[in-house]
């Protein structure tokens, strides 16, 4: 699945990431280093959870 | 030693004289496939797609995943009335197919003898390769497979077991989001359909009688909701998603308190904004987004056109399927 990302800054100064997949489904990702979606945004080449066969 | 520990020890030593329905021994959550917050039928889904709670696909192709219901009295364990099981049917061939579960924290069962068990069958005989692996999280050591075994499935329910020693984590660097992973993969690259129920991962060298991680339906739902929560409108009544405040003439912020604390600040996916309704100013929003989240709450922001800064109630009418889904999966 390929994604496009956009950084959104709230009026309180915080940020969230708007992620849109190739089917148009949108997900909103908090900038929390323990959120796995945010980890994949920061390092899309890494698969931190499941090693390959 | 508690009675639960005694019966568990007796069970381990005798191989099955008593039934230790001990909460906490099974490290798999939703091992009986009783919780399906995301839906009960998934067509042509690709890799890394969550279906039954805590279970996701691992495939190079696409698959059809469905919830199936046991005819009463036909669950594979006498005296344990399973309700649902998962069916996995390949939609494309020439690819690896299967399902995985990530058990939170690579320290779980590390260095211990572990027995993995599951009831499985298939529409025609095929094989299932079971792989244990460890992932050390963001910034952690490289992941590694701890071993594998292959089960030959028939067309009737059969319990399969595999005992393996999990690798120690001594000397490893453990980062955020680490996990112990159990993977059920068909590597034949052929078309197949298999069914699975009663997955258990426990310490020890014997597969003891199956029980869910929590031992209760309520506890299992709560365990799943640490990783995923779906707030979905009901089909026959107006549904309240909670209260919020109109912060300007274009912004309506909904405060969501989670049902249980989540593993981490969750990601939001939502239905179309116009399926919600901002009662008070009585307008339908034109957009929905996450303004912020933490493990116990989130602020969901609706774009609206309102004329005052009063409080509002966010609802969905009975004919509209509106949802807010929060994911803190590994």
What is the Cα Rg of chain B in Å? 22
Q: Give the model's pLDDT for residue B17.
A: 45
Write out residues in chain B with pLDDT < 70, as ranges. 1-21, 309
What is residue B51's three-state secondary structure?
A: coil
Where does B24-83 show beta strands of DSSP type E? 41-45, 56-57, 63-69
Residue A12 with chain B: CB contacts under 8 Å: 291-292
| Domain B229-327 falls under CATH 2.60.40 | yes
Residue range B9-225 forms a domain whose CATH class is mainly beta
In a 13 Å sphere around the CA of B229, the CA atoms on its Cβ side amount to 25
Write down the ipTM of this complex.
0.91
DSSP β-bridge partners for residue B195: B87, B121
Q: Give the model's pLDDT for residue B18.
A: 46
pLDDT tens profile B25-52: 999 999 999 999 999 999 999 999 999 9
Contact B329 A14 (CB under 8 A): no
Nearest chain A CA: its distance from B275 CA (Å) = 16
Domain with CATH 2.60.40 in chain B: 229-327
Domain with CATH 2.60.120.260 in chain B: 9-225
Nearest chain B CA: its distance from A35 CA (Å) = 6
Cα B323–Cα B328–Cα B330 angle in degrees, nearest 5: 135
pLDDT tens profile B187-225: 999 999 999 999 999 999 999 999 999 999 999 999 999
CA nearest to B179 within chain A = A49
Q: List the one residue out of B85, B172, B168 whose CA is nearest residue B120.
A: B85
Residue A37 with chain B: CB contacts under 8 Å: 267, 327
């Amino acid at each position: 699945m390929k994604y496009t990302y956009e950084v959104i800054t709230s009026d309180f100064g915080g940020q969230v990431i708007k992620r849109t997949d190739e089917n148009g489904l949108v997900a909103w990702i908090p900038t929390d280093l323990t959120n796995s979606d945010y980890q994949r945004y920061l390092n899309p080449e890494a698969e931190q959870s499941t090693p390959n066969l | 030693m508690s009675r639960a520990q005694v019966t568990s020890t007796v069970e381990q030593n005798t191989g099955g004289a008593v039934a230790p329905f001990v909460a906490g021994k099974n490290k798999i959550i939703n091992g009986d496939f009783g919780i399906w917050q995301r839906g009960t039928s998934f067509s042509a889904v690709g890799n890394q797609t969550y279906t039954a709670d805590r279970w996701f696909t691992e495939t190079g192709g696409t698959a059809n995943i469905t919830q199936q219901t046991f005819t009463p009295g036909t669950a594979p364990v006498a005296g344990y009335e399973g309700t649902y099981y998962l069916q996995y049917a390949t939609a494309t061939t020439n690819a690896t197919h299967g399902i995985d579960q990530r058990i939170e924290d690579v320290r779980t069962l590390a260095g211990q003898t572990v027995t993995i068990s599951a009831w499985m069958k298939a529409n025609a005989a095929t094989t299932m390769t079971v792989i244990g692996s460890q992932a050390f999280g963001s910034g952690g050591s490289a992941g590694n497979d701890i071993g594998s075994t292959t089960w030959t499935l028939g067309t009737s329910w059969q319990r399969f077991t595999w005992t393996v020693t999990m690798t120690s984590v001594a000397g490893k660097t453990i980062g955020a989001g680490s996990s112990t992973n159990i993977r059920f993969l068909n590597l034949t690259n052929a078309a197949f359909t298999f069914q699975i129920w009663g997955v258990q991962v426990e310490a020890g060298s014997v597969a003891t009688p199956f029980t869910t991680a929590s031992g209760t339906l309520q506890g299992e739902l709560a365990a799943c909701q640490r990783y995923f929560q779906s707030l979905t409108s009901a089909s026959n009544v107006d549904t309240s998603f909670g209260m919020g405040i109109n912060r300007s003439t274009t912004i309506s912020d909904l405060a969501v308190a989670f049902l249980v604390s989540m593993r981490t600040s969750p990601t939001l996916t939502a239905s179309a904004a116009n399926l919600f309704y901002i009662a008070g100013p009585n307008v339908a929003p034109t957009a929905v987004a996450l303004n912020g989240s933490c493990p116990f709450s989130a602020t969901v922001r609706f774009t609206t056109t309102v004329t005052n800064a009063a409080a509002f109630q966010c609802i969905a009418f009975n004919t509209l399927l509106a949802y807010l889904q929060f994911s803190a999966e590994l």
